[in-house]
Amino acid sequence: LGSRLTDAISNLSKTNVVDQEFVESILKEVCNALLASDVNVQLVVGLRKNIRAKINLAEIPQHSRKRAVHKAIFDELVALVDCKSEPFQPKKGKSNVIMMVGLQGSGKTTTCTKLAVWYQRRGFKTGLVCADTFRAGAFDQLKQNASKAQIPYYGSYTETDPVVVAKEGVQRLKKAGFDIIIVDTSGRHQQERELFTEMQQISAAVKPHQTIMILDASIGQAAESQSTAFKESSDFGAIIITKMDGHAKGGGAISAVAATNTPIAFIGTGEHNYDLEKFAPKSFIQKLLGMGDMEGLFDQIQTFNIDQKETMKHIQKGIFTLRDLRDNMTNIMKMGPLSKVAGMIPGMGQLANQLGSDGDTDYRMKRVLYIFDSMTEAELDSDGKILASEPSRIMRIAKGSGTSVKDVYDLLEQQKIMANMAKKMGGKNGMLNRMQQAK
Ligand code: GDP
Ligand code: MG
């Protein structure tokens, strides 16, 4: 989905004249990209109608049209995934029970531990309950994941009634003063009455404060019926989309949100315990479109009178080095509320969300700066390609900075996004030059 949308958007930035014909052609591209990635047809039709209604070319001067079209598309895409409902806020010092539902293989068990880790890192005393007695080895899997993450758990090898295990587990963890108790349940390969009945019984027994449906990003068109069926039987209040790191087209996720009018709380982006990101509609769409709010960032830089002359010169030439990224980040740290500013940089919004606004943002940012500290001058002045092609350098940097190889690769990924952006913006025919001419 991402690459096709990015193409459509880059056509927008390349064009010189925005007329009705052009608007129609870009709308067509955007809609086809959505359809091809399994977004429900009716949704796409509605989206097209809304965007059209927002763009009244007769009222928009030529030089503002690009922006207007871009904004209309962006806003409507965001509206598709944004339910505007308040996210669930567990309270410390109280037992918050969270129940997971979903089909077999959707990623429930894996996500249980990820979520537990996420809350534990934020100071909640968190425990897991395995109420999957259907699948052999389910308890062992949860046990293994939980032990690795040092999360306490409860389960049984002998009790076969999931309702009994769920109730017993939640009771024990409540008594032991756990703030967050996450109940893993069994799935089936298909939507079966038996499964839905089981979910209702467990739900009645543990009275969850929040029920979350786990949805595999790759299920495509089936997302709608699956989420609707679960919604009816176990009225969930949030969705977690898993396997967003794979080749999933992701459109199913959008359809599920719309079909159930339920927000996505998190997305799973890998098999490891840290691969869980808080979902934020704007940055999700920004990422899909391959953009960050670059203009916002430039405004900010000017407002704060930050010395970014070198970087600006680079961008004008279509270049962006690791040193540019570092200087940007250092300056941004001076600009205050990180969660606000970081969202403007491509690739960083996601990072900011992941970190949350609860203080460890700065800690993580500092970690990233340590990575820069471990680079040589030549590496800093490069576009990062020599690093990506030499694993030994990555290892050296990870070790030197006390971070992980993945942290270093993540940083290089951000650098790549920025470099691509600079390439598009810079040069004679770049956006930047044309923006200046338009003024
Ligand atoms: P359950 O049957 O719903 O409990 O699903 P599991 O938690 O056992 O997950 C099924 C498979 O999906 C496992 O191999 C997981 O490692 C994998 N998985 C879960 N979430 C993700 C994710 O976000 N990304 C990737 N790549 N794999 C995932
Ligand atoms: Mg499972």
Q: What is the pLDDT of residues 163-188, one digit of tens each?
A: 999 999 999 999 999 999 999 999 88
CA 242 remoteness from chain centre:
10
Hey, whose CA ends up nearest to atom 2 of ligand 1? 105
Pick the CATH number of 2-81 from 1.10.10.10, 1.25.40.10, 1.20.120.140, 3.20.20.70: 1.20.120.140
Q: Verify whether ligand 1 is closer than 6 Å to residue 114 (CB atom).
A: no
Taking only the tens place, the pLDDT of each residue in 327-366 is 877 766 665 555 555 555 555 555 555 544 444 556 667 7
Asked if 170 contacts 181 with a C-beta cutoff of 8 angstroms, the reply is yes
The answer to whether domain 2-81 and domain 96-284 are alike in fold is no
Question: What are the residues whose beta carbon lies below 5 Å from ligand 2 (ion)?
Answer: 108-109
Extract the tokens encoding 438: 């338009």
Full strand arrangement of the beta sheet holding 153-154: 153-154, 126-131, 180-185, 96-101, 210-216, 238-242, 264-268, 276-278
40 pLDDT band, cuts 50/70/90, is: confident
Burial of 19 (0-12, 13-18, 19+ CB in 10 A): exposed
281 Cβ closer than 6 Å to some ligand 1 atom:
no
Residue 190 has pLDDT above 80, yes or no: no
246 touches ligand 1 (CB under 6 Å): yes
d(CA 349, CA 75): 17
Give exposure, 341-366, as e/b (b: 16+ Cβ within 10 Å). Answer: bbbbbbbbbbbbbbbeeeeebeebbe
pLDDT of 254 reads 81
Binning pLDDT at 50, 70 and 90, where does residue 307 land? low
Is 113 a pocket residue for ligand 1 (Cβ < 6 Å)? no
Write down the pLDDT at residue 303. 47
C-alpha radius of gyration, the chain, whole number: 24
Query: Domain 292-438: which topology?
Result: 434 Repressor (Amino-terminal Domain) (1.10.260)
Q: Which atom of ligand 1 is nearest to the CA of 114?
A: 20
Q: Between residues 179 and 284, which one has the greater pLDDT?
A: 179
Can you say how many angstroms the Cα of residue 256 is from the centroid of all Cα atoms in its chain? Answer: 16
- On the question of pLDDT at 7 being above 90, the answer is no
Q: Nearest 10 degrees: CA dihedral of 247, 403, 386, 306? A: 100
Residue type for position 86 = E
Mean pLDDT of 111-140: 93
Take residue 38 and report the two structure tokens written for it.
Answer: 């399994």
Decide: 353 in ligand 1 pocket, CB within 6 A.
no
Name the residue with higher pLDDT: 141 or 422. Answer: 141
Assess whether the C-beta atom of 270 lies below 6 angstroms from ligand 1.
yes
ipTM of the complex: 0.99
Residue 371 contacts residue 408 (beta carbons within 8 Å): yes
Residue 106 Cβ contacting ligand 1 at under 6 Å: yes
Bridge partners of residue 98, in order along the sequence: 182, 210
Among 99, 109, 242, residue to substitute to test ligand 1 (most atoms within 8 Å of Cβ): 242
216 C-alpha to center of ligand 1: Å? 8
pLDDT of residue 357: 46
Residue 413 has pLDDT above 60, yes or no: yes
364 C-alpha to ligand 2 centroid (Å)? 31
Superfamily of domain 96-284: P-loop containing nucleotide triphosphate hydrolases (3.40.50.300)
**Tokens of residue 368, six digits:** 């990233």
- Give the C-alpha separation, 417 to 111, whole Å: 28
Distances (CA, A) of 425 to 298, 317, 319, 320, 430: 12, 9, 9, 11, 4
Q: Where are the domains of the chain?
A: 2-81, 96-284, 292-438
Sorting pLDDT into bands at 50, 70 and 90, what band is 219?
Answer: confident
Res 52 pLDDT > 90: yes
Q: Is the CB of 245 under 6 A from ligand 1?
A: yes
Give the tokens for residue 414: 């951000």
